[in-house]
Homo-oligomer: A and B are copies of this chain.
């Protein structure tokens, strides 16, 4: 069968549709029929390409995990300075999530529903390598280059500041009255303002 150019293969259409529906309604709330409709195909085709709802879900999830995590790991393992790492992380993270804004909610959700299974699936049984970054921070603290700060707390804070706007988008938009474009602009801005915020708070 000749693939029709761009949004070609049924498989891709399904994956795109499934992503959309899964994030909108959650894994449990998503209906195979919804996904089929969204993809503009018959429901049985879903089962032809991906045997079950769970398989479909897993496929999408695997894609996400493999796309996101290595680049983050690379940054923390690089030879950059603390400040540079924070800047690189925020840029990389926000950039990536801007392309797939549904991921944070998706991950947080499944994470909380299947704590053991999902976390292991996400990280493939080996934890993210933060050792280098952690010792880097501890050293900087000793040398009094930065304030006394627990490395893990710094990492949590950095993550928090990057992810939260994506999770809380509806509230933020409603409270602030931002439209889509303005909201996106704000996120763009945060690629720079968040690292600044963090760096200010730890610098001596």
Q: How large is the interface on A (under 10, 10 to 19, 20 to 34, 35 or more residues)?
A: 35 or more
Is A40's beta carbon under 8 Å from chain B? no
Residues from 13 to 42 in A contacting B, C-beta threshold 8 Å: 23-29
Chain A interfacial positions (CB closer than 8 Å to B): 23-29, 105, 108-109, 111-113, 115, 118-119, 123, 127-128, 130, 147, 150, 152-153, 156-157, 159-161, 163-165, 167-172, 174-176, 186, 190, 193-194, 197-198, 200-202
Q: Is the interface of A mostly helix, strand, loop or mixed?
A: helix
Quick one: given A130-B175, A156-B172, A175-B127, are A113 and B29 in contact (CB under 8 Å)? Answer: yes
Cβ B161 vs Cβ A157 within 8 A: yes
B25 & A25 in contact (Cβ 8 Å cutoff): no
Closest chain B CB from A166 CB (angstroms): 10
Q: Which residue of B lies closest to A165 (CB)?
A: B156
Known: A164-B160, A165-B160. A170 touches B26 (CB 8 A): no
Flag if A164 contacts B163 (CB, 8 Å).
Answer: yes
Contact of A119 among B171, B190, B194 (CB under 8 A): B171
> Nearest Cβ distance between residue A194 and chain B, in whole angstroms?
8
